[in-house]
Amino acid sequence: MNLQQKKTSAPDTTVLEKLRASGLRPTRQRLALAKLLFGRGHCHVTAEGLFNEAKQTHVNVSLATVYNALHDFTAKGLLREISVDSSSSYFDTNTDDHHHFFFEGTGELQDIPPDSVRIAALPEAPGGSAISRVDVIIRVRD
């Protein structure tokens, strides 16, 4: 489609920095995928979805490499994985604390503005264990 590089995207150097800073070797494939992911505003992708975007942009990557890259990025804190639907995993380029709408009909995710959900009275984790994350998913029919 019309996914050519726009001047609005982050410059390649930024993405390169991001990879270097995280300790991941900036290979051609990872750079291309990182550019797709981080070059625009925040987005939610599946492995399959990113793979297709890559194909359309004439970036040669195998699906296995997409999975590897997504997991590597997630392990380094560049992405966040979200489980809403057991049929496939979503990855979010926004790693800040925030929550999601999930459109049951289309399977799309959308960020909820950070202040419109507030959680009062968060319970202690049982047995002195540490809370690693709180996920709020608002499922909407569409």
Partner DNA sequence: ATAGCTGCAAATGCTTTGCAAGGCC
Partner DNA sequence: GGCCTTGCAAAGCATTTGCAGCTAT
Residue 110 neighbours by CB under 8 Å, 6+ apart: 44, 100, 101, 103
- CB contact set of 134 (below 8 Å; sequence gap of 6+): 119, 122
Cβ-based neighbour number of residue 17 at 10 Å: 13
**d(C-alpha 9, C-alpha 24), whole Å:** 21
Q: Is residue 75 near DNA by the rule CB under 7 A?
A: no
In the complex, what is the shortest distance from the CB of residue 107 to a second copy, in angstroms, rounded to a whole number?
12
Nearer to a second copy, 1 or 121 (CB): 121
The helix (run of H) or strand (run of E) holding residue 36 is helix 28-38
Q: Which of 25, 118, 133, 141 binds DNA (CB under 7 A)?
A: 25
Instruction: Choose the binding region for DNA from 82-90, 97-105, 114-122, 134-142 (rule: CB under 7 A).
Output: 82-90
Per CB under 8 A, contacts with a second copy among 71-110 are: 83-86, 88-89, 101, 103-104, 110
Residue 110 binds DNA (CB under 7 A)? no
Asked if 24 interacts with DNA (CB under 7 A), we say yes
Nearer to DNA, 24 or 137 (CB): 24
Cα-Cα-Cα-Cα torsion 106, 108, 113, 116, nearest 10 degrees, comes to: 50
The binding site for DNA (CB under 7 A) comprises 20, 24-30, 46-48, 60-65, 67-69, 71-72, 86-89
